[in-house]
């Protein structure tokens, strides 16, 4: 069925550079596929380095005037953008579901989530305060001002096609930066629609420039920005492997970097936990976007004395989940994004079984009656998991929960931290002394304590270790797009 939008012009099929919609210089295109049906429903430019350079030229030309606007003016434009995102939420949600696959209700939630970052940074734009330092010697004034870093390159993932680009572009604009952006190859349409709304909001030409590119062309587009000394910051959400390449590439021109990379989140259930609350929290955290979320719990450690009870209650809940295409109003878990994604899940489950795991529910690919897509996977619980399994060490990025029994607190903290990643961790416990001990000992940028839903525009999102650096959202999120400049005024005696 063709995609029906209330405003058909929100289905955009060209790059947006310097306020103009334009094809790729090479006039190449690639297909956008609906993962639920496997059908091609749109085409977008397959851009190359020439398009990336055009985008950077436009961002450079717009930078001076944009940074010179008052913070209040930038805030007002961001607020107008926020209002337009909300006003067009139904169309944006349809675009998200069509290209990414998440159920429509969840896509609506993503629109609200992404919009909240735009509103938040509209409000933060007017609070980028500097500082006055008490003078160490008389006759001098020491001041600190915040300045925009310059052109920002934003490279965004497919799992939250709206929220991730919104939470990079909004703080960049609030800070006074201009942007060149490339959305994930699988999900370019939501980003293009978002940029159209930004233009409608009155955000000036050249302030946001967006090019789309296939998987094959993406390295060349990003490299053009890495090589461009005018691009002063790169903000990326995606795999740790790509994040490391960007960190190496940024060294030549010493760009500032924000890297929100892979995770391997532990979720710990202690014997003093409220078991039903822990099941609720795990369901919310794990099945958001079908498990295709960087903060999705990957390893679930359950204290042996409550293991059977927890496994039984969890398994009943997981077995009841409805899998289906986004168009099914009852669907709670949609298709995986593409063939590569489901292949990894199949391999992780196969490996877990080969290492002695037991399937408590699910465990296999699904073919749904009347649905052509081939990337549906049954929500799965694997019992008796052990550290030798791949899913103990690698992010599965799918609807698979592995349950690892444990005995003691020191043991489980060591297991939880035994990973190069450190984005999110979760634990459920009621003993307050334990709550503080464990919260302080977990090596991650985010800790959920008796809570599965962590993300919020007001909170700093980001990791430690190989999950990256930089923070998105919150008052800390604006700093990543600004320099701290020290002004020293003398001769005042």
Per CB under 6 A, contacts with ligand SIN among 149-208 are 159-160, 163
- Give the nearer residue to ligand SIN in terms of CB position, either 160 or 310: 160
Binding status of residue 294 toward ligand SIN by CB under 6 A: yes
Which residues lie closer than 8 Å to 16 by C-beta, 6 or more apart? 22, 192, 195, 196, 199, 208, 209, 210
CB of 420 to ligand SIN, least distance (A): 17
Binding status of residue 323 toward ligand SIN by CB under 6 A: no
Binding status of residue 100 toward ligand SIN by CB under 6 A: no
Sign of the alpha-carbon dihedral angle for 229, 231, 232, 236: negative
Residue whose token pair is 């799965």: 380
Which residues lie closer than 8 Å to 431 by C-beta, 6 or more apart? 270, 272
For the record, the structure tokens of 370 come out as 């009347």
Half-sphere exposure in the Cβ direction for 333 (13 Å, CA):
30
CB of 220 to ligand SIN, least distance (A): 24
CB of 307 to ligand SIN, least distance (A): 28
- Give the nearer residue to ligand SIN in terms of CB position, either 294 or 311: 294
Count of residues that bind ligand SIN according to CB under 6 A: 10
Q: Which of 110, 185, 260, 409 is catalytic?
A: 260
Range 406-410, long-range pairs (CB < 8 A, 24+ positions): 406/268, 406/301, 406/302, 406/303, 406/304, 407/303, 407/304, 409/270, 409/434, 409/437, 409/438
- Give the nearer residue to ligand SIN in terms of CB position, either 293 or 396: 293
- Give the nearer residue to ligand SIN in terms of CB position, either 165 or 311: 165
CB of 226 to ligand SIN, least distance (A): 21
Quick one: which of 237, 298, 375, 444 contacts ligand SIN (CB under 6 A)? 237
Compute the distance between CA of residue 83 and CA of residue 79 in angstroms, rounded to an integer: 6
CB of 270 to ligand SIN, least distance (A): 24
Quick one: which of 17, 282, 295, 341 contacts ligand SIN (CB under 6 A)? 295
Three-class DSSP category at 309: helix
Compute the distance between CA of residue 391 and CA of residue 173 in angstroms, rounded to an integer: 39
CB of 260 to ligand SIN, least distance (A): 6
- Give the nearer residue to ligand SIN in terms of CB position, either 47 or 467: 467
For every residue of 269-308, DSSP letters joined together read E-TTS-HHHHHHHHHHHHHGGGG-STTSEEEEEEEHHHHH
* Contact (Cβ atoms closer than 8 angstroms) between residue 375 and residue 336: yes
- Give the nearer residue to ligand SIN in terms of CB position, either 315 or 467: 467
Rounded to a whole number of angstroms, the distance between the first and last alpha carbons of the chain is 77
Interior angle at CA 359, CA 107 and CA 397, nearest 5: 35
Per CB under 6 A, contacts with ligand SIN among 26-85 are none
CB of 453 to ligand SIN, least distance (A): 9
Per CB under 6 A, contacts with ligand SIN among 447-466 are 455, 461
- Give the nearer residue to ligand SIN in terms of CB position, either 125 or 424: 424
Q: Which of 294, 395, 457, 472 is catalytic?
A: 294
| Interacting span for ligand SIN (CB under 6 A) from 61-69, 185-193, 289-297, 357-365 | 289-297
What would you report as the CA-atom Rg of the chain, rounded to the nearest whole angstrom?
23
Which residues lie closer than 8 Å to 374 by C-beta, 6 or more apart? 38, 339, 342, 365, 367
Q: Residues 239-278: x/- map of binding to ligand SIN (CB under 6 A)?
A: ---------------------x------------------
- Give the nearer residue to ligand SIN in terms of CB position, either 41 or 113: 113
The residues pairing with 234 across neighbouring beta strands, listed in sequence order, are 153, 257
294 is catalytic: yes
Catalytic residue numbers, as ranges:
260, 294
What does the binding site for ligand SIN look like in residue numbers (CB under 6 A)? 159-160, 163, 237, 260, 293-295, 455, 461
């Amino acid at each position: 069925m063709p995609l029906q939008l209330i405003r058909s012009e929100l289905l955009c099929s060209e790059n947006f550079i310097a306020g103009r919609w334009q094809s790729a210089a090479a006039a190449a295109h690639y297909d956008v596929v609906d993962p639920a049906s496997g059908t091609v429903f749109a085409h977008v430019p397959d851009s190359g380095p020439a398009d990336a350079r055009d985008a950077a030229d436009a961002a450079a030309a717009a930078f001076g005037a944009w940074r010179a606007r008052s913070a209040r003016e930038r805030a007002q434009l961001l607020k107008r953008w926020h209002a337009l995102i909300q006003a067009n939420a139904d169309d944006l949600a349809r675009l998200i579901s069509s290209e990414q696959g998440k159920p429509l209700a969840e896509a609506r939630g993503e629109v609200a989530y992404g919009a909240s970052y735009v509103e938040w940074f509209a409000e933060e734009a007017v609070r980028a305060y500097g500082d006055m330092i008490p003078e160490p010697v008389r006759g001098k004034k020491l001041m600190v001002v915040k300045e925009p870093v310059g052109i920002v390159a934003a490279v965004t993932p497919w799992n939250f096609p709206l929220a991730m680009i919104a939470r990079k572009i909004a703080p960049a604009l609030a800070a006074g930066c201009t942007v060149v952006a490339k959305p994930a190859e699988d999900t370019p349409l939501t980003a293009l629609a978002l940029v159209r709304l930004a233009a409608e909001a009155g955000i000036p030409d050249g302030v946001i420039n967006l090019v789309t590119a296939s998987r094959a062309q993406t390295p060349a587009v990003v490299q053009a920005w890495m090589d461009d000394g005018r691009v002063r910051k790169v903000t990326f959400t995606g795999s740790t492997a790509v994040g490391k390449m960007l960190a190496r590439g940024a060294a030549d021109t010493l760009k500032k970097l924000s890297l929100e990379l892979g995770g391997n989140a532990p979720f710990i259930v202690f014997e003093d936990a409220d078991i039903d609350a822990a099941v609720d929290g795990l369901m919310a955290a794990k099945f958001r976007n079908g498990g295709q979320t960087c903060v999705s719990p990957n390893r679930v450690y359950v204290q042996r004395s409550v293991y059977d009870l927890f496994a039984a209650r969890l398994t009943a809940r997981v077995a009841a989940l409805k899998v289906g295409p986004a168009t099914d109003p009852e669907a709670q878990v949609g298709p995986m994004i593409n063939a590569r994604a489901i292949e990894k899940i199949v391999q992780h489950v196969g490996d877990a079984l080969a290492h002695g795991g037991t399937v408590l529910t699910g465990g296999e690919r699904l073919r749904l009656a009347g649905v052509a897509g081939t990337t549906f996977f049954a929500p799965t619980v694997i019992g008796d998991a052990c550290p030798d399994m791949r899913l103990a060490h690698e992010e599965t990025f799918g609807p698979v929960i592995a349950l690892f029994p444990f005995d003691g607190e020191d043991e489980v903290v060591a297991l939880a931290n035994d990973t190069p990643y450190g984005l999110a961790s979760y634990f459920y416990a009621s003993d307050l002394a334990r709550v503080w001990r464990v919260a302080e000992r977990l090596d991650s940028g985010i800790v959920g304590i008796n809570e599965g839903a962590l993300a919020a525009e007001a909170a700093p999102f980001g990791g430690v270790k190989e999950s990256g650096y930089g923070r998105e959202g919150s008052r800390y999120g604006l700093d990543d797009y600004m320099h701290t400049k020290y002004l020293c005024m003398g001769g005042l005696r």
